[in-house]
């Protein structure tokens, strides 16, 4: 059991629809870590409880067995006195969603903006490649689920810090993965609409690694232009855009190689998208050019 008497809550970090995350200081070591816990009102839903616990099992397997980097470290998992499942994780920094709102983030079109896009994209694509090779599909890649590490010892631009992919609560896993069983229907809706691949709108259960590549493509398009490729107030219109409408043209100031890569990542047919490892290679070449 996780015991709240073992830590002091420092501050809330994030509150979502299902879980909350707080920064806590461990009394024994003085270390600052992140506590993630399911909201009390969801305790009676076995599926949501299983997803919370499965995130811990996946992180443990990915980081220790498969040696995947770019993920938070799981420090402990257990049940709180309230009965809610909880995870203690390594403490990370701001999300990409928050960082791009900072005045220190480079504006689209600047040389630093291209460097930021290639740096973030290469690191995430490298992490995704290893995650996919382990039989896991994230299914909810978006700026809120991309965190930067804590400030490095040497002064660096805010965009050049290490990036981490978090929140595997909606992940799809291979049958060989040792997790609690969760029934996902063929028509179940899982993910964040603005970043969902065309096939994910139709069946979250049947998606593969290509859906994560599409979501990363949306994130990188957003970094390149300052806006999403598709936006609509109604879900039906947004679904139509992702399923049918080509992404708006990218600015002419972007390198042609980058524009070709982003459009390939945003291909409507999943078989037309490059794997994450190929994306990482192209972004690395662009960053070094």
Instruction: Check residue 155 and give its pLDDT.
Output: 57
Which CATH number characterizes residue 189's domain?
A: 1.10.510.10
Pair 227, 143 in one domain:
yes
- 3-class SS letters over 163-180: EEECCCCCCEECCCCCCC
What's the pLDDT score for residue 157?
Answer: 78
**pLDDT band at 193, cuts 50/70/90?**
very high
Last residue of a domain, one of 59, 90, 121: 90
**pTM of the predicted structure, to 2 decimals:** 0.94
Q: What's the average model confidence in pLDDT over 116-123?
A: 96
Closest CA to 198 of 179, 209, 216, 211: 211
* % the chain with pLDDT above 90: 78
Same domain, 195 and 230: yes
Q: What was the pLDDT predicted at 159?
A: 75
Asked whether the predicted pLDDT for residue 277 surpasses 50, the reply is yes
Q: So what's the pLDDT on residue 92?
A: 97
- Burial class of 159 by CB neighbour count within 10 A (0 to 12, 13 to 18, 19+): buried
Q: What does the alpha-carbon distance between residue 4 and residue 78 come to, in Å, rounded to a whole number?
A: 12
Which residues are designated catalytic? 140
- Residue 154 in this model has a pLDDT that exceeds 90: no
Same domain, residue pair 100 and 81 = no
For the residues 190-212, what does the mean pLDDT come to?
94
Same domain, 222 and 279: yes
H/E stretch holding 34: strand 32-38
Both 134 and 207 in a single domain?
yes
Containing domain of residue 28, as a range? 4-90
Over range 162-174, report the average pLDDT: 92
CATH number at residue 56: 3.30.200.20
The pLDDT, as a whole number, for residue 149 is 93
């Amino acid at each position: 059991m996780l015991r709240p008497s073992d830590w002091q809550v420092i501050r809330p970090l994030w509150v979502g629809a299902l879980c909350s995350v707080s920064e806590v200081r461990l009394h024994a070591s003085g270390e600052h870590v992140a506590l993630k816990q399911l909201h009390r009102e969801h305790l009676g839903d076995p599926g949501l409880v299983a997803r919370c616990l499965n995130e811990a099992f996946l992180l443990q397997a990915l980081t220790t067995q498969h040696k995947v980097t770019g993920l938070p470290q799981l420090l402990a998992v257990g049940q709180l006195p309230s009965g809610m499942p909880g995870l203690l994780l390594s403490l990370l920094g701001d999300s990409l969603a928050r960082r791009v709102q900072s005045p220190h983030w480079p504006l689209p079109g600047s040389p630093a903006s291209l460097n930021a896009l290639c740096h973030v994209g290469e690191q995430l694509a490298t992490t995704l490649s290893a995650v996919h090779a382990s039989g896991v599909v994230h299914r909810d890649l978006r700026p809120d689920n991309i965190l930067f590490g804590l400030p490095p010892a040497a002064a660096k631009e805010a965009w050049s810090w290490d990036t981490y992919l978090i929140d595997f609560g909606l992940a799809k896993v291979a049958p060989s993965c040792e997790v609690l069983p969760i029934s996902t229907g063929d028509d179940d809706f899982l993910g964040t609409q603005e970043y969902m691949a065309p096939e994910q709108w139709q069946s979250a259960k049947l998606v593969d690694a290509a859906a994560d590549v599409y979501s990363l493509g949306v994130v990188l398009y957003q970094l390149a232009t300052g806006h999403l490729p598709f936006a609509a107030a109604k879900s039906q219109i947004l679904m139509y855009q992702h399923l049918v409408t080509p992404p708006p043209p990218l600015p002419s100031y972007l390198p042609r190689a980058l524009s070709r890569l982003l459009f390939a990542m945003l291909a409507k047919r999943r078989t037309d998208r490059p794997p994450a490892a190929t994306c990482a290679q192209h972004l690395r070449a662009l960053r070094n050019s």
